Amino acid sequence: MKAAIFVKPGKMEIKEMSKPKIQKSTDAIIRILRACVCGSDLWWYRGISKRESGSTVGHEAIGIVEEVGKDVVAIHPGDFVIAPFTHGCGQCAACRAGFDGSCLNPTESANGGYQGEYLRFEQANWALIKIPGKPQDYSDAQLNNFLTLADVMATGYHAATSAEVKSGDTTVVIGDGAVGLCGVIGARLRGASRIILMSHHEDRAKLGLEFGATDIVSERGTDAIKRIMELTNDNGADSVLECVGATSAIKQAGQVARPGAVVGRVGVPQIEPSSNTLFWKNIGLRGGVASVTTYDKNLLLDEVLKENINPGKIFTKRFDLDHIQDAYEAMDKREAIKSLIIVADK
Ligand SMILES: [Zn+2]
Ligand SMILES: [Zn+2]
């Protein structure tokens, strides 16, 4: 089978590999239909974080289950599924509390191999999300919506949940990448009445407005903070979604939050932030790895099936597996909000 591998910073390749096999009774083998490149993949693609040369990559996909281990009873061969990047066991204290992204039974193969023809998926019984029917029953746009439920839409929703967005809130979203844009959808689903998206790119701002943002702040630095304070009558926002991960973004989140607000962060933190602003304004900071399976099963799959949300619009360029290098370059050069990879038609 073909799979994408990381060669060195800036260089991806397709390699012929042996098809994965069931190793544990809780595994499933999935034939991948669609995968995609994540903003977090750019950390190692750009050489900012380390990754082993020759390792398989990708952590978001949809596909068809081919085979399951003997303890997998909720999912069957032939099922059409979402393969999240998280592998919640569904039974530990973290999973039961709704934090399957921090499952206490971690797996060895997490975070790699989804950008390929076949995937060995651990903790398949609980972590996989079954989509009703077959891929052929859905439009191209719906298939892309399902794919976002493997990571980015659930992560955006997690930012909104972590920020405790509630009905009537004025919410600020920092970051206009795919996660920030899905954060706008998340804030809307949780009932925010005003959603201020900070965006410097016209195409991303436009999609943000379509997803439910009510205001766009395109200024940078202190001008951006000034503008948000004007928009909130000098109070600051009730909730803030930090979808970047840079220290400057967390600092900015504290500056635009009203006293007593909560900041939800899902950007993978690069450096620990100074927490002084948060202290003086009684601002809460929480967030982490998204509860993908929990959100998909409780809410997000239903919202997609009802066509209430269209997060798949973040895929602005598509590639086949053989053009994996182009898929990464498009994200790296910001030519695509998110790169879609078509692995198989059906
Ligand atoms: Zn991701
Ligand atoms: Zn667990």
Q: What pLDDT sits at residue 250?
A: 86
Contact present, 19 and 35 (Cβ < 8 Å): no
Pair 178, 140 in one domain: no
138 and 197 part of one domain: no
What is the reported pLDDT for 49? 87
Q: Do 133 and 234 fall into the same domain?
A: no
What was the pLDDT predicted at 199? 96
165 and 129 in a common domain? no
> Ligand 2 mean position to 127 CA, how many Å?
9
Which amino acid, one-letter code, is at 30?
I
Which of the ligands is closest to the CA of residue 125? Answer: 2
Q: What pLDDT was estimated at residue 30?
A: 98
Any idea which ligand is nearest the CA of 290?
1
Q: Give 152 Cα–ligand 1 centroid separation in angstroms.
A: 6
CA of 56 to the centre of ligand 1 (A): 15
State the CATH number of the domain containing residue 257. Answer: 3.40.50.720
Ligand 2 geometric centre to CA of 98 (Å): 9
Distance 100 CA to ligand 2 centre (A): 6
- Ligand nearest the Cα atom of residue 35: 1
Report which bound ligand comes closest to the CA of 101.
2
Q: Report CA(178)–ligand 1 centroid distance (Å).
A: 10
Q: In terms of domains, do 53 and 180 share one? A: no
Q: What pLDDT is attached to residue 249? A: 87
List Cβ neighbours of 223 (8 Å cut-off, separation of 6 or more).
none
Q: What is the pLDDT of residue 109?
A: 67
Number of domains making up the chain: 2
- Say if CB 31 and CB 117 are below 8 A apart: yes
Residue 312 shares a structural domain with residue 180? no
Measured in Å, residue 184 CA sits from the centre of ligand 2 at: 28
Which residues crowd ion ligand 1, with CB under 5 Å? 38, 40, 151
Range of the domain at 278: 155-287
* CATH code of the domain containing 16: 3.90.180.10
Do both 24 and 165 map to the same domain? Answer: no
Q: Find the ligand nearest to 87 CA.
A: 2
Where helices occur in the chain by DSSP H, the ranges are 41-45, 93-96, 124-127, 140-148, 152-162, 178-189, 202-211, 221-231, 247-256, 276-280, 292-295, 301-305, 324-332
**Is there a single domain that holds both residue 161 and residue 216?**
yes
Q: DSSP label at 12?
A: E
Q: Which ligand has the minimum distance to the alpha carbon of residue 153?
A: 1
Q: Is 9 in the same domain as 144? A: yes
Question: What is the spatial distance between Cα 267 and Cα 179, in angstroms, rounded to a whole number?
Answer: 8
DSSP-based three-state secondary structure for 197: strand
pLDDT per 10-residue tile (average), the chain, 346 residues: 97 97 96 96 92 95 98 98 96 95 84 92 97 97 98 97 98 97 98 97 96 97 96 97 87 94 85 69 87 97 98 98 98 96 93
* Cα(259) to centroid(ligand 1), Å: 31
Domain co-membership, 15 together with 45: yes
Q: How many CB atoms lie within 10 A of CB 320?
A: 13
Question: Do 97 and 236 fall within a single domain?
Answer: no
**Partner residues linked to 32 by β-bridges:** 63
Q: Which ligand lies nearest the alpha carbon of 291? A: 2
Ligand 1 center from residue 216 Cα (angstroms)? 25
> According to the 3-state scheme, what is the secondary structure of 209-234?
HHHCCCEEECCCHHHHHHHHHHHCCC
Q: What is the pLDDT of residue 133?
A: 97
Hey, is 344 helix, strand or coil?
coil
Q: Identity (one letter) of the amino acid at 60?
A: E
Distance of CA 153 from the midpoint of ligand 1 (Å)? 10
Ligand number with the minimum distance to the CA of 148: 1
Q: How far is the CA of 206 from the centre of ligand 1 (A)?
A: 23
